[in-house]
Amino acid sequence: AQSVTQLGSHVSVSEGALVLLRCNYSSSVPPYLFWYVQYPNQGLQLLLKYTSAATLVKGINGFEAEFKKSETSFHLTKPSAHMSDAAEYFCAVRHNAGNMLTFGGGTRLMVKP
Amino acid sequence: GAGVSQTPSNKVTEKGKYVELRCDPISGHTALYWYRQSLGQGPEFLIYFQGTGAADDSGLPNDRFFAVRPEGSVSTLKIQRTERGDSAVYLCASSLNRGQRSDTQYFGPGTRLTVL
């Protein structure tokens, strides 16, 4: 069965600093991986997705993620944090035998001025 | 274009009551999903529709939960004899479902259910 683990339920960075949110997956088949962002009182918005076409995936709002099979990781990064990036971020894996997503527990990103 | 919409945005009910939560997917999306998000956790899958039929309901916690999608568009999640543990945000998502695993699921804003 596929699963994802997000290390660090809370991450705090200063404005302008590098953002690194960690996601490790478990899958017996090549995974399809997604990062979603959730702003307060809003639904989830897709940031980017890995579909095996390229290991470095660029998403919206300057975010990108790199798929590393050897490390079973799909960490999310952004070179320079903005105050508007403060939100909850979820990593998810698409099931092979079904269409549902399995989500990690989420990481709350806080950006300090 | 219009995204996924969910009504009501908030629902407060008493223990033991019956509730219905509605989801209106993006026009043309044949796949529809319900997830439940408890406080401080990631969303958990409940049920998936392909067209009018429930293709996978393995995530429904018990027989108090039921969902329908009679015309292949709007879906209603129904919860009978609500319990305090049912309190959560119920999220709906839809996708084109062209048979590709890379298909993106688009989420609605959710319905926050509070059972007193």
Mean residue pLDDT of chain B comes to 93
* Residue A7 contacts B where some CB pair is shorter than 8 Å: no
Q: How much is the pLDDT for A31?
A: 83
Q: Tell me, what's the pLDDT at A76? A: 98
Tell me how far apart the alpha carbons of residues B55 and A99 are, in angstroms, rounded to a whole number.
9
Percent of residues, chain B, with pLDDT higher than 90: 82
Is B11 strand, coil or helix?
A: strand
Condensed to tens digits (0 to 9), the pLDDT of residues B8-51 reads 999 999 999 999 999 999 999 999 999 999 998 999 999 999 88
Over chain A (113 residues), the average pLDDT of each successive run of 10 is 90 97 88 92 90 89 94 96 96 82 96 96
| β-bridge partners, A32 | A94
Tell if the CB–CB gap between A105 and B41 is shorter than 8 Å: yes
Report pLDDT for B37: 95
Question: Is B95 an 8 Å CB contact of chain A?
Answer: yes
DSSP line for A42-86: S-EEEEEEE-SS-SEEE-GGG-EEEEEGGGTEEEEEESS--GGG-
Q: Tell me if A101 and B45 make a contact (CB, 8 A cut-off).
A: yes
Question: At residue B98, does pLDDT exceed 70?
Answer: no
Q: Which residue has the higher pLDDT, B7 or A51?
A: B7
Alpha carbon B30 to chain centroid, angstroms: 15
